[in-house]
Amino acid sequence: MTQSPMTRRTLFALGAPAALVALAACSSGSSNSGSSSSASGSSSSNASSSSSASSAPSGGASGSASAEGEASASGSASASGDSAKITATKAGERDDAGYHLNTPKQGAPTVTLYTDYQCPYCAKAEPAYEKVAKDLEGTMNVTVRNMPLSSHKNAVPAAQAVQAAELQGKHLEMANKLFQTQDSWKGITDKQTELRGLFLSYAQEFGLDTEKFKTDLVDPKTLELIKGDFEYGHKIGVKGTPQFVVNDKPLENVDSSTSAEDMAKEFKKAAGLS
């Protein structure tokens, strides 16, 4: 299929040690020069061309997506795709390949979605990708990793909330809740109290241990995992969100407008399965 113009949020600057590296938009066709750099609630296929990301997410409890200098990657960023060590044994677990949406299979090709929970195009892509995970059960490992854009100021704390929920088995519940309620939290500036309080209310809604959730939300290991995903994505050439990657190779012909059926076909084709 032919990719629609600008169907991803684009990273215009990804950090590298001591320098910023400019990256072109992850699409064919012209950009929408009038678009705002902040995410809207729309699921339109036209993405902003002015979104950006810095060297890595930072900020800990504050959740700011901006970073200065080079951030260290966690062990979770050490491998992906062909080189990933699959240690998860069931859907809903995480290992070097990412968070597994279907049952992990040793030796199977891996498709990974790099996502930003404040990106409306990621929200649009999520339902189809979850369906693909079921359709490719036993054929391909279907995983998710973090790629918060610096133009989305609450993307990092949102990713922290998903990871904190994941530690209690509620990754998908939190991820989908954040996608569904983007307009409610994307503009919140009080990250310490208001934003964290909202995410805590979601945790309560899912029946999570709220004390553990609060602890995990600000745990440095949570941020390191997100940074690790971001840096590995940068390393393999991820240029926007949502970005689909098969065995560490970004696909340019699959985006938020792609149907689940076509996604599965393209993933299998890229993996050499069809």
pLDDT digits (tens, 9 = 90+) for 171-222: 999 999 999 999 999 999 999 999 999 999 999 999 999 999 999 999 999 9
Q: What domain count does the chain have?
A: 1
Domain range for 88 is: 9-69+78-270
Q: What is the pLDDT of residue 220?
A: 98
Q: Helix 155-166 and helix 171-180: axis angle, to 10°?
A: 150
Residue whose tokens read 């745990």: 219
pLDDT digits (tens, 9 = 90+) for 82-121: 456 899 999 999 999 999 999 999 999 999 999 999 999 9
Q: What is the mean pLDDT of the chain?
A: 79
Q: What is the pLDDT of residue 22?
A: 26
In a domain, 220, yes or no: yes
What gap in Å lies between CA 36 and CA 107, rounded to an integer? 42
In a domain, 140, yes or no: yes
Q: Quickly state the pLDDT bin for 47 (edges 50, 70, 90).
A: very low
**More confident position, 82 or 23:** 82
Tokens at 50, concatenated: 């002015």
pLDDT digits (tens, 9 = 90+) for 126-173: 999 999 999 999 999 999 999 999 999 999 999 999 999 999 999 999
In a domain, 214, yes or no: yes
Q: Give me the helices (H) in the chain, please.
A: 120-135, 155-166, 171-180, 182-185, 196-205, 210-217, 220-236, 260-270
In a domain, 196, yes or no: yes
CATH number (domain holding residue 254): 3.40.30.10
pLDDT digits (tens, 9 = 90+) for 48-84: 333 444 456 765 433 333 332 223 333 334 444 445 6
Asked if residues 27 and 8 have their Cβ atoms less than 8 Å apart, the reply is: yes
Q: How far is CA 264 from CA 6, 60, 126, 258, in A?
A: 21, 36, 14, 10
In a domain, 3, yes or no: no
